[in-house]
Amino acid sequence: MKNKKILVVVLLCIFMMLSGFSAYVVTSNENIESEYNMGNGGGYLSEEEVFEALAFTYNDSKLLSAIDSSKVKTPSNFIIKEFHAEDYSKYTNNQYGGMYMEENGELVLCYRNGSDMLSKAMNNNEEFSGKLLNSSNKVIANSVTVKSVKYSYAELLKVYTYLNENANQHKGIGNSSIDIRNNKISIGVYASSEGEEAKRDLTSLFGEDMFSFVEIDPDDLPKFIANIGGTSEIRNNGILGFNPLNLLRQDVCIVPVKVIVG
């Protein structure tokens, strides 16, 4: 009986991983939940809700179709795969630059400089007075700003993933994250010769504008939280981070409730 239970757990983990659950890490235990006024009494807003609201508010049937086609549901209609930032990035031909919340509850949507999506988003936002509605005609964001940025979400994610996968080649790095607000990769480097070497190598590979560096003490241990699946809650600090020290294990299986990710 015990062996059967173990087999069921293993199969469940495999099923979840194959179903498109993605792993995220946030770099701090603080600000796990960013509560703000959405115009309907307060609450929490996820990226998935924003993408659906963009489709509904702007009557974008192509986006709505992309969202619906990307969702994976169980026979009992439980959604096990959502339309995430990577999906929206592909939908915009990699012109999307991410989103974050200001402390006053303002939602900021970023798009690449000079892109068609930037112009389209600005026009739509002006037409609808900076508000987003869900499919029930309820306001989920009553203050929206469209921002022009240099790097797309896809470009930041590419470098971000490189750092996570090649941590052993850059031993002077202690942690890294995508800083959506400042449109950069934020890197904590050790105050050592290895840290200086990592800075030179990375700026040589990707350019100085891509990074912001912060010196950290080699004795400081970063705090990381790994979540698999769930929805991507928008953070008011605009930070999404990976653990470059490979502390995140891809074979970890967590049954999803509504987990919060950066």
Which DSSP string corresponds to 131-186?
Answer: -EE-TTS-EEES-EEEEEESS-HHHHHHHHHHHHHTGGG-TTEEEEEEETTTTEEE
Given this model, what pLDDT does residue 23 score? Answer: 31
Which amino acid is it at 133?
Answer: L
Residues of the chain with CATH 3.30.300.50: 20-33+153-242
From its phi and psi, is residue 127 left (phi > 0), alpha (psi between -120 and 50) or beta? Answer: alpha
Q: Is 3 helix (H, G, I), strand (E, B) or coil?
A: helix
Q: Crossing angle, helix 47-57 and helix 61-70, to 10 degrees?
A: 150
Estimate to the nearest angstrom the gap between the alpha carbon of 135 and the chain centroid.
Answer: 23
Which amino acid is it at 131?
Answer: K
Beta bridge pairs of residue 145: 108
Q: Smallest Cα–Cα separation from 176: which of 224, 218, 208, 220?
A: 224
Instruction: Answer yes or no: pTM beyond 0.75.
Output: no
Mean pLDDT of the chain: 75
Kindly calculate the radius of gyration of the chain based on its CA atoms and give it in whole angstroms.
19
- CA dihedral for 52, 55, 56, 58, sign (positive or negative): positive
Class of the domain covering 20-33+153-242: alpha beta
Beta bridge pairs of residue 214: 188
Given this model, what pLDDT does residue 19 score? Answer: 43
Please determine, for residue 166, whether its predicted confidence score (pLDDT) is greater than 80.
Answer: yes
Which amino acid is it at 252?
Answer: V
Given this model, what pLDDT does residue 34 score? Answer: 33
Confidence of residue 82 (pLDDT cuts 50, 70, 90): confident
Given this model, what pLDDT does residue 81 score? Answer: 76
DSSP 8-state secondary structure symbol assigned to residue 250: T
- CA dihedral for 72, 76, 78, 80, sign (positive or negative): negative
Beta bridge pairs of residue 109: 99, 146
Mean pLDDT of 96-104: 93
Those residues whose C-beta lies under 8 Å from the C-beta of residue 245, and which sit 6 or more positions away, are 167, 174, 175
Given this model, what pLDDT does residue 233 score? Answer: 59
d(CA 19, CA 26): 22
